[in-house]
Chains A and B, each alone.
Chain A
Amino acid sequence: MADPVPMVRTQHLRKEFHGHIALENLALEVGRGDVFGLIGPNGAGKTTLLRILATLDQPTYGSVEVDGLDIELHPQQIHARVGYMPDFQHAFEEMTVTDYLEYFARAFKLAPAVRRKRLQHLLDLTQLHVKAGEQVGSLSRGMKQRLSLGRTLIHDPTLMLLDEPTSGLDPKARIDFRGIVKQLAAEGKTILISSHILEDLSDFCSAVGILEKGRLVESGKISSILARMKTATQLRIRVLAAMDRAAALVRESPHAVSLEVQGEWLDVTFSGDMSAQADLLRELTAGGVRVAAFEERRAGLEEIFLRGSSGEVS
């Protein structure tokens, strides 16, 4: 059976603004049902890429397909499949929450019965039903963000493009927002999300891409990238007594790359596999060290970003 058509595919994508290259030779694939995190410094081209995918901007050249459809040839069909949430939330401030969603439901030509159902569902999902009759201008930033997400979902798109959706939100609002995105991911939607807050992405992203100076310098499943980077494992060992002895035993291990002692904790950069870790633990206990905790801390998105990106902008 042939591979399914990816939800997003770009080839040789280039975008110039008045001679400035925002995206260059970009080749990206996002699979169906993936939650793809787009990371990169400011000015790396994340917003430009998302706007092109949403058909808001046209590429200078190169091909861009969404759900197998060329964005230049079939913009209307793509509108039906894509929900785009921009980085700055703009809304018709004088409208009520319900009118705002109703307006976009009509703009997507939803039948009255479907419209009512979607409206109710989205008010519940975004927890805005208590604010349904209030003016958009009176909402807090977090609520506006949720309303914008509701607008993005009004036509039940299969691909969601979220540009810095949690930027500027307080911790509670960020957690709420992450919950909604996780729920959408569980429903099988493909989500392409850019964020500066890597903690948010690591929570639910199945794949990431690093943009730098308009180029995609790294892309793929998080586990694959980590494997490619051959990153060392970080071990954290909590020792209740005989700290000096424990440190000496760790240093003797041929797999210990570095060691840092912080109170009762030993932070070890360890190049060995699981078996080598078991050996180290056995040697510690055999050497009379009382080990209260022995845990592996995997490298995350932050490390991928730091290693994959030089922090330069285009």
Chain B
Amino acid sequence: MLDNAEFIRSVRGDKDLPRGTVHVTGYVMLAALWFMYHFARYQAGEELDRLVGPYLLGLLGFHFFVAAFAGLLAGGASIARDKENGTLDSQRITALTPLELAAGKLLGLTASTHFVNLLALPFALGAAALGGFSVGQILAVFAILTGTTFFYCALGLLMSTGAAKGDSGSGNAMVGGLLLTGVLASCPVPVIEAATPVPALFHLMGTVRPAERYAPPLAGLGIPIELLTVLFYALGTWACLLGVTRYLARPAAPPWTRKQLLTGYAGMVTLAVGFLLSYPVDGAVSQKDLLLGVALFQSLMMVALVAIGVALVPGRERTEQELWRGAVSGREQLLGESGSPLAFLVLLAALSNAVPLAVWAAPWLNAGASAAELGLLLVVGNALTFLALKFACRTHEWMTLVVPDFARFLTFFAMMTIAMGPLAVAMATTENVEHFLPLLMVGNPPFVLINLVNPVRPSADPSGLAMLSILLASVLALSSCYLATRRRATLAAQIAAKKASLGVD
């Protein structure tokens, strides 16, 4: 009988696959960037040319998410996949101590995952050339990104100990890491927020908000926020490593139980809400604004998670094997089991925006809701988004099969942008948005442009830009879906032909 895995390897030889998909999506993306730049230039006039350098460096902020999610994905799969494949036991009974084994896994994961940060290098070089940033500043950004990679790999590794299979390990790590990061990065509590990388990155980039605004007491002590961030990463990485070590020494007693995990999350949310309620409210910032910021950031993280999840989670091989077995045709799986691509995107965008849209649109909120109501909304919103996330990840891995290499990142950008569109509308009509504005800009180039044009308020015609962003993202996402479908059909045809030539049913 023909070896299935061997056959899949032979079919996957990229020379046989349609490379045109990569080229077409690349052109679409370049055209979109060109169009966006000129539209923004039309809005902002010559001012924009001066801001291109900071904008390019600002894109490095985006890599915080890339590094974090890549680390969570890889780390989450690591030990869980060893358990799934039964290879963990043989490693545990070597001469390596549990700490050595854990550290080895962490170093290996970080080394491979850190590669994605190098993708940001051209942006950094471009910024240095155009914007006059110092080499030291750029190196510091990369140092923080390295720390980010280390920490999230360690966090993923720790979460991986609680999963039985690689895929679920990645999923758990992404969701868990996301919630943790969301809560930490969103809390306006100085000590917590100072320890998260987002303010530090923005501080380094110097394009939007001074980090001191988010960490007045610590900044007042003269401790550089970058140092705090690195310290936080070091401590967090060490704590995760200890948990992994404990697990490897005695897997029967995992670092946590599901109950502990839920309790931990509930505790974090409670803390966050408590801190929010105790935050000194002045004329500029209200509790409602802060909660809105939290909700928006959580939503942003969720969308990023879904997007990068469907873009990067390995599912292609599995589907190729399904095709090989003839269990289901490509079209049936795509349209029958998973629904249409368009429906998926609309559903995803709608669900991922449910929280901020509800916050923004509910009349009773605008009329002044109580803190308890807002807190409830935050928790329920998180739960709903979580369900949406599970739904999206489980039923729509088709995106991964077909979107190759470069186009995967395109998909990420596109989905991020389409989900951010309604937020642009919300921002345009919400007062006191500056405390969460930087966070939104991290993953959303149109907003970076808006802010560069007018650092305090959105541009005069934000809804126009928002609509443009939705339009562009829709075109990109749909073209990507179309190309994905084509690639899958091509694969199915190739497999059928190969089977016919071999006389295999």
Contacts and interface: CB of A to CB of B under 8 A. Distances in A.
B87 interface: yes
B contacts with A: majority SS: loop
A88 B86 contact: yes
Scoring B90, B91, B92, B249 by chain A CB atoms within 10 A of each residue's CB, the highest score goes to B90
A79 B96 CA distance: 9
Q: Decide if the interface of chain A is mainly helix, strand, loop or mixed.
A: loop
A107 B5 contact: no
Interface string B79-93: 000000111011111
A189 interface: no
Nearest to A92: B87
A138 B90 contact: no
A291 B86 CA distance: 58
A90 B87 contact: yes
A107 B89 contact: no
Nearest to B87: A90
A55 B6 CA distance: 36
A121 B196 CA distance: 53
A84 B95 contact: no
A138 B86 contact: no
Which range holds the interface residue count of chain B?
10 to 19
A114 B232 CA distance: 42
Interface in A95-127: 104, 107-109
A86 B88 CA distance: 12
A138 B6 contact: yes
Interface in A55-82: 55-58, 75-76, 79-80, 82
Contacts of A75: 249
A80 B86 CA distance: 21
A213 interface: no
B252 interface: yes
Contacts of B91: 107
A55 B249 CA distance: 9
A137 interface: yes
A146 interface: no
A155 interface: yes
A79 B95 CA distance: 6
A9 interface: no
Q: Which of B87, B89, B91 has the most CB of A within 10 A?
A: B89
B12 to A, nearest CB: 14
A151 interface: yes
Contacts of A57: 252
A54 interface: yes
Contacts of A56: 89, 92-93
A91 interface: yes
B97 interface: yes
A88 B5 CA distance: 20
Given A57-B252, A138-B3, A76 B95 contact: yes
Interface string B123-152: 000000000000000000000000000000
B10 interface: no
B86 A90 contact: yes
12 contacts: A58-B250, A75-B249, A76-B95, A79-B95, A80-B95, A90-B85, A90-B90, A91-B87, A93-B85, A104-B94, A137-B5, A138-B3
Given A54-B89, A54-B93, A57-B252, 6 more contacts: A76-B95, A80-B95, A90-B87, A90-B89, A93-B85, A155-B94
